[in-house]
């Protein structure tokens, strides 16, 4: 099971990059890598048909959070109103 | 039988080509899908990167695109075979709508990835190789250097515009 160690190693590396990157907007791509790696770890740890729903729910949720952070930081939804 | 680490590297290359091709065809580097993606692109450009590359990086962050589709398709095939991958495509479609993304890059990438991963499992690969491969592939774009990654995407975007046209 090298795959799970690859995912875990990349998750820790990206998390460290998130911590040491000072600019909030530039943190988000690293946070995205963490989400990818954690989604992979969830699926690899729990090989069950329902896991795909859990992994997708986690991934879409974390993407929506990043989307919300970026949009709020950029000034909200003023353009669409 | 190939060694697992070697299979993961080959899977990473296949995943990279799959999500990059689908994302470029669906014009992700053209503009930001939501205002947050545009803001990330501007920040990437301010740091010395390329604006078009930044748009694609911002779009990947803000909504499930073909890279997310490839990952979830691999997870789906790993957990439940071919139908798991197709079920993942439905979940990516719902995820796109939740994130206010009008595009279909994620769903298309998920369906193509399901076929690729399922096909590869028939010739000696494991679906878990593609999960780790996709995490490596996204690391090369989002997790190493945003300056170099955005310039690479911009170069590929120019090639796509020359071949397929329809770019602004």
From the first residue on, what is the mean pLDDT of each consecutive set of 10 residues in chain B (168 residues)?
87 95 91 87 92 93 92 95 93 89 88 95 93 96 92 93 81
Nearest CB partner across the interface for B139, out of A33, A52, A71: A33
Q: Report yes or no on A81 lying in a domain.
A: no
Task: Specify the number of domains making up chain A.
Answer: 1
Task: Specify the number of domains making up chain B.
Answer: 1
Q: Model confidence at A78, in pLDDT bands (50, 70, 90)? A: low
pLDDT tops 80 at residue A77: no
A15 or A80: which leads in pLDDT: A15
Q: Report yes or no on A52 lying in a domain.
A: yes
B15: chain A residues, CB-CB within 8 Å? none
The answer to whether A10 touches B11, Cβ cutoff 8 Å, is: no
Q: Model confidence at A81, in pLDDT bands (50, 70, 90)? A: very low
pLDDT at B102: 79
Interface test with chain A among B132, B140, B145, by most A beta carbons within 10 Å: B132
pTM higher than 0.90: yes
At A63-72, the pLDDT tens digits run: 999 999 998 8
Q: Which domain holds residue B11?
A: 4-164
At A8-65, the pLDDT tens digits run: 999 999 999 999 998 888 999 999 999 999 999 999 999 999 999 999 999 999 999 9
Rounded to 5 degrees, what angle do the CA atoms B138, B58, A61 make?
A: 75
How many Å lie between the alpha carbon of A22 and the closest alpha carbon of chain B? Answer: 12
How many Å lie between the alpha carbon of B151 and the closest alpha carbon of chain A? Answer: 15
pLDDT at A30: 95
The answer to whether A10 touches B143, Cβ cutoff 8 Å, is: yes
Q: Which residue of A has its CA nearest to B106?
A: A60
C-alpha span between B111 and B86 (Å, rounded): 6
Q: Which domain holds residue A40?
A: 2-75
Residues near B18 by Cβ (< 8 Å), separated by ≥ 6?
B66, B70, B109, B112, B113, B116
CA distances from A12 to A80, B57, B136, B143, B163 (A): 37, 21, 13, 12, 39
Residues near A69 by Cβ (< 8 Å), separated by ≥ 6?
A24, A28, B36
Q: Report yes or no on A80 lying in a domain.
A: no
């Amino acid at each position: 099971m090298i795959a799970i160690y690859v995912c875990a190693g990349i998750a820790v590396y990206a998390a460290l990059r998130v911590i040491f990157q000072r600019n909030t907007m530039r943190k988000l791509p690293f946070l995205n890598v963490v989400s990818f790696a954690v989604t992979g770890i969830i699926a690899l740890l729990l090989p069950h048909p329902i896991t795909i729903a859990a992994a997708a729910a986690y991934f879409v949720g974390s993407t929506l959070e990043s989307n919300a952070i970026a949009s709020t930081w950029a000034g909200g939804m003023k353009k669409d109103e | 039988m190939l060694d697992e680490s070697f299979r993961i590297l080959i899977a990473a290359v296949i995943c990279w080509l799959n999500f990059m091709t689908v994302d470029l065809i669906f014009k992700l580097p053209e503009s930001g899908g939501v205002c947050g993606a545009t803001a990330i692109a501007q920040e990437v450009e301010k740091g010395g990167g390329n604006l078009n590359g930044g748009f694609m990086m911002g779009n990947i962050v803000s909504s499930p695109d073909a890279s997310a589709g490839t990952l979830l398709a691999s997870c789906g095939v790993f957990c439940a075979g071919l139908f798991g991958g197709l079920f993942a495509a439905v979940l990516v479609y719902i995820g796109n709508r939740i994130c206010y993304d009008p595009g279909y890059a994620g769903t298309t990438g998920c369906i193509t990835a399901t076929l690729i991963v399922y096909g590869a499992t028939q010739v000696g690969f494991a679906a878990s190789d593609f999960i780790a491969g996709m995490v490596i592939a996204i690391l090369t774009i989002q997790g190493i250097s945003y300056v170099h990654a955005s310039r690479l995407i911009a170069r590929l975007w120019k090639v796509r515009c020359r071949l397929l046209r329809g770019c602004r």
